[in-house]
Amino acid sequence: MTQKTGHALIQDYLRTLDSSPGVYRMLDAQQAVLYVGKARDLKARVSNYARPSGHSARIARMIRETASMMFLTTRTETEALLLEQNLIKQLKPRYNVLLRDDKSFPNILVAKSHAFAQIKKHRGAKSEKGDYYGPFASAGAVNRTLTQLQRVFLLRNCTDSTFESRTRPCLLFQIKRCSAPCTGRISHQDYAALVEDAERFLQGKTTSIQADLAREMAAAAEAMEYERAAALRDRIKALTAVQSVQAINPKGVAEADIVALHMESGQACVQVFFIRGNQSWGNRDFYPRLGGAESPDEVMQAFLMQFYDDKPPPRQVLLSHPPEDPDLTGAVLSERAGRKVELLVPQRGEKSDLVTNALRNARESLGRRMSESATQLRLLEGLAEAFDLPAPPRRIEVYDNSHIMGTNAVGGMIVAGPEGWMKNQYRKFNIKGTEITPGDDFGMMKEVLTRRFQRLLKDDPDRQTEAWPDLLLIDGGAGQVGAVHEIMAELGVEDIPMIGVAKGEDRDHGKEEFHRHGQRPFALRMNDPVLYFVQRLRDEAHRWAIGTHRARRAKAAMANPLDEIAGIGAARKRALLAHFGSAKAVSRAGLADLLAVDGISAAMAQKVHDHFNARD
């Protein structure tokens, strides 16, 4: 009996469904999830797919590929929407709109765990005590704002441990970027006033700050405190300069995200501008992956739900297009924020101008990206032709090793595709094999590839995901290619095309030779764009591997023998170093001397003593 698929299969499922809200999944013959959707009425929604005609090309293709379905009922449509987005994020279905940028946004933290608050950049969970301001569009936007805050408010950015160890002011004090609370150059009360002013600035209350500073300056001058008056004058000038160079600062919008969508030729760009405290805190563009032929309201709803999945929405979200279900989307965002969140599509006034500006940026960004993608696609087509590949590669993985005389050895993998560098897919491999001879590049490459493809085979043995490469580039000649082919054959994945890139006889850039297993080496003409493309791929892998190696070497150079002792954390390490002066002195200490250190118990003293004596 032939297994039913498509609309005939979906028609059978209708008999078991009721009108409850819920989430449905459409799966192909290999049980890979094609699409996740939510419904106010499951039966009514799924019945749309049971019709044999009247669908867009994308939906018709999805229905044809459907071999089974799964259903989950919920109590409300809001729960269904939340569950839908969780499943989309987890399963990444082929026909759903996917937000591919998963980076967190940086914030400014005024950390208040110390008597003198520290101001710094923060990314991640908001677990540290203090006040958070953000999000900012990028680290660069945070750094610019921090520099402005230092010039105007003279707040410290050093760590607590550095603060405690200072005996004289640092360079930031000399260049008027810090008030040097570490050495008592400012009282606790006056520093707290600076912190309060800085927070008012971050809240957009710059006018009142400037007026207060002007009054203080006049009072200081009248009291003939000319040095203080001059310092206040410098702060006023710095604040004026900050206000004059800031980007678009809307007067009538205190807190909002501006979200503008432009779609063209099956691609989309979403520009998000962050407005906080009547100040623009930067923008970032996103390129969600479309399933094909979605409407703008579908894309906007999917974007909003995924974008605010792990970050609190502001009080207002100004949109270029309404989401598919504005009331439901607004209710879910309000629930996540714990307060009312307004979704607005402004038609006139300042808010409309802000959205128009964001929409222009989205249109221009997508145009640039499409132009770059077309160039990249031509290069990939040329690569396929030059290396006799069956099709232009969608994922190229390039491998390189880096070490110094075998020490701190690392392997690096970079990834490129139709849209350029895929930096969130880059990987580093600390070489762990104890049997590898120092400097054995073959042995290192074997370990890297074995770890990489064993993991792939474990996670995706049927090669259903896009994590599998279409082409491997190896930095090396015939020897490396032969060794890598043996490794891949042992793993059972020798069908992936592989190219070795070796320098020519004079080791000159431009005279590279290309090696393939079982074939004669060949070269490309000097001015061939494909040659330059491969050089860039190899150089990027080299840069990545060297950077990773240097980071590991620097970490090893800063390593402390005390870090190797289980139970010795930061506090006990500080106590031991403060008592003995150095890790070397700790290693030579007797048991009685270790017991004299505050916070070191008899058991811990014995553990430290045994650790160092075992080395002798």
Nearest to 52 by CA among 17, 12, 4, 6: 6
Q: Does residue 52 belong to any structural domain of this protein?
A: yes
pLDDT for position 2: 52
Q: Are residues 589 and 500 in the same domain?
A: no
pLDDT for position 616: 41
Q: Are residues 427 and 547 in the same domain?
A: yes
- Among 34-48, 136-150, 549-563, the range of highest mean pLDDT: 34-48
- Give pLDDT tens digits for 352-393: 999 999 999 999 988 888 888 888 889 999 999 999 999 999
Distance CA 433, CA 12 (A): 56
Q: Are residues 543 and 575 in the same domain?
A: no
Of 10-14, 252-256, 268-272, minimum mean pLDDT range: 252-256
Q: How large is the average pLDDT for residues 25-42?
A: 90
- Give me the residue label for tokens 């490396």: 480
pLDDT for position 116: 92
- Output the 3-class SS for 408-420: EEEEEEEEEECCE
pLDDT for position 254: 82
Q: Which residue has the higher pLDDT, 228 or 242?
A: 228
Q: Are residues 444 and 458 in the same domain?
A: yes
Q: Are residues 548 and 569 in the same domain?
A: no
Mark which of 367, 386, 414 sits at the end of a domain.
367
pTM score, whole prediction: 0.67
Q: How large is the average pLDDT for residues 394-408?
A: 78
pLDDT for position 560: 66
Q: Does residue 218 belong to any structural domain of this protein?
A: no
- Give pLDDT tens digits for 476-491: 888 888 888 888 888 8
Q: Which residue has the higher pLDDT, 56 or 529?
A: 529
Q: Are residues 401 and 504 in the same domain?
A: yes
Mark which of 144, 178, 204 sits at the end of a domain.
204
Q: pLDDT band for position 113 (50/70/90)?
A: confident
> With 0-12 CB in 10 A as exposed, 13-18 as middle and 19+ as buried, what is 408?
buried
pLDDT for position 311: 82
Residue 244 vs residues 148, 199, 214, 251, 276: alpha-carbon distances, Å:
12, 19, 18, 14, 17
pLDDT for position 1: 42
pLDDT for position 253: 84
Q: Does residue 219 belong to any structural domain of this protein?
A: no
Q: Are residues 272 and 340 in the same domain?
A: yes
Residues 6 or more apart in contact with residue 162 via CB below 8 angstroms: 182
Q: Are residues 114 and 145 in the same domain?
A: yes
Tally of domains in the chain = 5
Q: Are residues 546 and 472 in the same domain?
A: yes
Report the 10 Å Cβ neighbour count for 426.
17
Kind of pairing between the strands at 407-417 and 420-421:
antiparallel
Q: Are residues 499 and 400 in the same domain?
A: yes
Q: Which residue has the higher pLDDT, 269 or 125?
A: 269
Q: Does residue 234 belong to any structural domain of this protein?
A: no
Q: How large is the average pLDDT for residues 175-188?
A: 89
pLDDT for position 603: 87
CATH code, domain with 310: 3.30.420.340
pLDDT for position 471: 93
On the question of a cis peptide bond just before residue 135, with omega within 30 degrees of 0, the verdict is yes
Residue 300 has pLDDT above 80, yes or no: yes
Residue 13 domain boundaries: 6-91
Mark which of 350, 367, 384 sits at the end of a domain.
367
- Give pLDDT tens digits for 540-572: 988 888 887 777 766 665 556 777 777 777 778
Q: Does residue 467 belong to any structural domain of this protein?
A: yes
Q: DSSP assignment of 344-390, as one string? A: E---SHHHHHHHHHHHHHHHHHHHHHHHHHHHHHHHHHHHHHHTT-S
Of 16-20, 221-225, 337-341, minimum mean pLDDT range: 221-225
- Among 203-217, 276-290, 548-562, the range of highest mean pLDDT: 276-290
Residue 245 has pLDDT above 60, yes or no: no
pLDDT for position 316: 93
Instruction: Please report, rounded to a whole number, the percentage of residues in the chain having pLDDT higher than 70.
Output: 90
Residue 237 has pLDDT above 80, yes or no: no
pLDDT for position 384: 92
pLDDT for position 208: 67
Residue 256 has pLDDT above 80, yes or no: yes
CATH code, domain with 584: 1.10.150.20
Q: Which residue has the higher pLDDT, 437 or 488?
A: 488
Q: Does residue 138 belong to any structural domain of this protein?
A: yes
CATH code, domain with 42: 3.40.1440.10
- Whether residue 26 contacts residue 13, with contact meaning beta carbons closer than 8 Å, is answered with no
Average pLDDT along the chain: 84
Q: Are residues 418 and 537 in the same domain?
A: yes
Task: List phi, psi (to 5°) of 489.
Answer: -65, -40
Q: How far is CA 201 from the centre of its chain?
A: 28
Distance CA 180, CA 163 (A): 9
Q: Does residue 237 belong to any structural domain of this protein?
A: no
Distance CA 181, CA 244 (A): 29
pLDDT for position 323: 93
Q: Does residue 27 belong to any structural domain of this protein?
A: yes
Q: DSSP assignment of 113-140, as one string? A: SSSS-EEEEE-S---SSEEEE---SSHH
pLDDT for position 227: 74
Q: Are residues 401 and 546 in the same domain?
A: yes
Q: pLDDT band for position 463 (50/70/90)?
A: confident
Residue 210 has pLDDT above 80, yes or no: no
